Structure 1
Amino acid sequence: MEVPGKKLHLKTSAVDTSYCQPCSQDGDTFPAEAYCTVCKEFLCSNCASVHKKLKMTRSHALLDKSNMPTSMSGQDDDDEYIEPCEIHPKEFIKYFCPSHQTLNCGHCVVQNHRSCHVDVISNISLAFKDGPEYGDIDKAIAKLFKDIDKCASDVEKNKTVIAEIGDSEVSKLRRCRDEVNKYFDERENALLKLIEQMKNIDEALLDNLRPKCDNLKAEVEEIKNNLKTQENNTIQLFIGAKRAKQLLEITQTTLAEINKQNTIHQYRFNIDSATERLMESTTGLGVVKEEVIDTQNALGIHVKYFTNENYVL
């Protein structure tokens, strides 16, 4: 694998092997121990020490080995790399592995892509904007915008549909409830009328019997008073008593007839067994069903119906 830029052979871990650039001018290769962020150069320990002493460079910021960049590749365009690596936050993404389709920093390349052909992003990105892949991405974005707009439109249509379904089913439920109420109102009125009729019959009968009882009492009072007034005349008392006896027998017969007529209707309300079962039922009045039919309504929206009774009234 080769990383374009500074000429490095990356068959081993050389992708992260940096050397002292000032010393390389004399043909010497010494491991880099520091990096100057101003000069954009790797320095060995001796050069770093000199760098800190020279008047022109003593104010430069030097990164030690643990914080300096891991690769010399692409040092001329380091300023273009600003995206940090998700795995190694101190490093910037600089490489792309076509085999794994991953974006990598120098650490990632050494650890996971030694045997891969890794491209330097600064090199392959030059023609990317005018290439087919970016064009496909642009088309995919446009299509997604269109699909999202259609989805949003379908959502709004479905909101309209559920409102219509809700209104329709509520209307059906209300009509059913009104019919049930009407039926029970009619049944209640019929039963109340029957009770009233029996009550009126009994009251009329009693209203007719009560005066008869009063009349009989008055007749008995009269018989008693007549006998009382004849107690001093034994003959009249005898005759009056005989007559009174006959009258008392008639009165007794009349009273027996009144007692015979003095009957009223015994009635009580018993709830209908079907109504009682209905009241005990958990599905009284009706159920809301879902059906498993996938159909298309007038608005062109697919609606699914399910057969299971998930909701019980």
Structure 2
Amino acid sequence: MEVSGKKLRNYCKPCEQLKTSTFSDGFCSQCAEEMCQRCFDTHKQFKLNRGHILVQSVEAKSKCKETPTFDNCTKHLNEEIKFFCPEHDQVGCGDCMVISHKTCKVKYILEHIDGYKDSKEFKKLKKDIEKYDGEAKAMLGRIRSNKDHVKDVNKKFAFEVNSFRDELIAHFTKLSDAMLKYGDDIMAADVEKIENLEKQNKGLVDETNDMKETLQSEADQPYKLFLSSLSYRQNLHLVRDQLERIKANNTIETNDFMPDCNLEKLMKTCKQLGVLHKPNESGAGLKEKTVKSNRATPMTKDQCSQTNQVTKDQCSQTNQSFLDRQLVCKNLIIDGDLISCAKTAKGDFGLLIDKQTLSTGDSFEIEIVSIGRNGGIAIGVVPDDYPNNRLPGLGYDSYGYHSDGKVFEGRKSGEKIGDAWKVGDRIKCTVNL
């Protein structure tokens, strides 16, 4: 410790904090604080303060007085922030450094503030601030643009939903109008028919009335009465025959409306108008592949104009969709766990080959949600080189179970083991090698 010159009669700052008045014995240039000898000795016991010097130089003191006022530490209210840790970029008082950074190379703030404004570190900091400020402003612009775009996307989405709804309404209105017109045409034909019968029958009534009046008027004229009777006897045969024809034709066509079973079923099973399609997501469409696997399920054959496409809510849920697993997909539409026939020429059939290889104990199953009028479905297992145009079980070394209730084992003739499949049936295949 170096003490030079006459002691200044100032008061010790640490003692003032303890509510006592003690004259200062010197000035700690590093801490810029008046201290008595006892407080300074205690001050130097800390590791961070061992290099501090107590001076009485007026120049040193005046230089220290030019330093900025220290901020108080938020954790230790009686201490001031005088140190920083370069390793963690944290500042604090002496207590903070001793407690949290005792293994770090702590530095004194006042030793680094001179010329900091012109340092490369500060210039880099300003440059980075400008950079990220520009990026933040640009991002703000993009965010606000997306904010407006969100409304445009929803507007387009609403337009498509409403357009599809209007299209459905227009289509079903057209169908209902056609059905109503068919009923009106039947009614018009029946009305015309009944009116003609009414006219014919009225003629017969008029004719029989004339006969009755004539016979009554000729009651006292035996000769004329006899001639009229002979004539009316022949006419009555014609009246009788005409009445029989009128009676046979006096029927109308009863029209009871029977809803289309496919539409009725669709209304009961359809849970939503459509699905949300995200074009930027993977797996949004089907890709044709030619790789084979030794697992095929299921294969669908149908005259596709008769095939009904139903919702995937009717299908049982599995761990992985067919779209993710398929290796070969021909003439099929895949929607999650739903497989339906695509529009193809008559005689074509749909094929799905799974890329997972089966071993003993593995199994898979399907549920029939629609089979169509002339449709057929088959599931089974096939070898790697199995043709893509043949149902499982019809070719060499393959096994298939078909919807006609027959099992095929590598040949075109099958063994009947059950009834034909119907909607709601679940068919399971378990492998035992």
AA partner of residue 209 (structure 1) = L
Contact conserved, 2:82 with 2:93, CA < 8 A, in 1? yes
1:133 to partner: Cα distance: 1.9
1:248 to partner: Cα distance: 3.6
CA distance in structure 2 between the aligned counterparts of 1:44 and 1:202, rounded to whole angstroms: 119
Match of 2:259 in 1: 271
Match of 2:134 in 1: 146
CA distance in structure 2 between the aligned counterparts of 1:169 and 1:190, rounded to whole angstroms: 31
1:155 to partner: Cα distance: 2.0
1:113-128 equivalence runs, <5 A: 113-128=101-116
Contact conserved, 2:82 with 2:91, CA < 8 A, in 1? yes
- Could you say which structure has the higher strand fraction? 2
AA partner of residue 271 (structure 2) = T
1:263 to partner: Cα distance: 2.1
1:256 to partner: Cα distance: 0.9
Contact conserved, 1:98 with 1:118, CA < 8 A, in 2? yes
1:56-95 equivalence runs, <5 A: 80-95=68-83
Q: Does 1:188 align with 2:167?
A: no
CA separation of 1:81/1:264 partners in 2, compared to 1, >3 Å: closer, same or farther? same
**CA deviations over 1:204-228 (Å, ceiling 9, x no partner):** 1111111222222233334344455
Q: Does 1:48 align with 2:20?
A: yes
TM-score, normalised to structure 2's length? 0.46
**CA deviations over 1:188-244 (Å, ceiling 9, x no partner):** 333232222211111111111112222222333343444555667788777766655
CA distance in structure 2 between the aligned counterparts of 1:44 and 1:237, rounded to whole angstroms: 159
Determine helix, strand or coil for the equivalent of 1:43. Answer: helix
Match of 2:189 in 1: 201
CA distance in structure 2 between the aligned counterparts of 1:251 and 1:45, rounded to whole angstroms: 138
Q: Does 1:282 align with 2:271?
A: yes
Determine helix, strand or coil for the equivalent of 2:91. Answer: strand
CA distance in structure 1 between the aligned counterparts of 2:250 and 2:180, rounded to whole angstroms: 24
Contact conserved, 1:91 with 1:105, CA < 8 A, in 2? yes
Contact conserved, 2:15 with 2:22, CA < 8 A, in 1? no
Determine helix, strand or coil for the equivalent of 2:179. Answer: helix
AA partner of residue 125 (structure 1) = I
Max Rg structure: 1
Q: How many corresponding residue pairs?
A: 244
CA separation of 1:39/1:213 partners in 2, compared to 1, >3 Å: closer, same or farther? farther
1:240-251 equivalence runs, <5 A: 244-251=232-239
Contact conserved, 1:81 with 1:92, CA < 8 A, in 2? no
CA distance in structure 2 between the aligned counterparts of 1:194 and 1:253, rounded to whole angstroms: 33
CA distance in structure 2 between the aligned counterparts of 1:78 and 1:134, rounded to whole angstroms: 22
Contact conserved, 1:81 with 1:93, CA < 8 A, in 2? no
CA distance in structure 2 between the aligned counterparts of 1:45 and 1:147, rounded to whole angstroms: 48
Contact conserved, 1:94 with 1:120, CA < 8 A, in 2? yes
CA distance in structure 1 between the aligned counterparts of 2:253 and 2:91, rounded to whole angstroms: 99
1:145 to partner: Cα distance: 0.9
Contact conserved, 2:71 with 2:80, CA < 8 A, in 1? yes
AA partner of residue 79 (structure 2) = E
Match of 1:253 in 2: 241
**CA deviations over 1:126-173 (Å, ceiling 9, x no partner):** 232222222221111011111112212222343454455445454544
CA distance in structure 1 between the aligned counterparts of 2:102 and 2:175, rounded to whole angstroms: 91
2:206 equivalent among 218, 222, 242: 218
Alignment RMSD = 4.2
CA distance in structure 1 between the aligned counterparts of 2:120 and 2:134, rounded to whole angstroms: 21
TM-score, normalised to structure 1's length? 0.60
**Quick one: percent identity of the two aligned structures?**
23
Contact conserved, 2:15 with 2:21, CA < 8 A, in 1? no
Determine helix, strand or coil for the equivalent of 1:48. Answer: coil
CA separation of 1:40/1:209 partners in 2, compared to 1, >3 Å: closer, same or farther? farther
Determine helix, strand or coil for the equivalent of 1:203. Answer: helix
- Could you say which structure has the higher helix fraction? 1
Match of 1:29 in 2: none
1:119 to partner: Cα distance: 1.8
- Greater shift, 268-277 or 238-247, is seen at 238-247
Determine helix, strand or coil for the equivalent of 1:103. Answer: strand
Higher relative contact order (CA 8 A, sep 6+): 1
Q: Does 1:132 align with 2:120?
A: yes
Contact conserved, 1:209 with 1:258, CA < 8 A, in 2? yes
CA separation of 1:151/1:50 partners in 2, compared to 1, >3 Å: closer, same or farther? closer
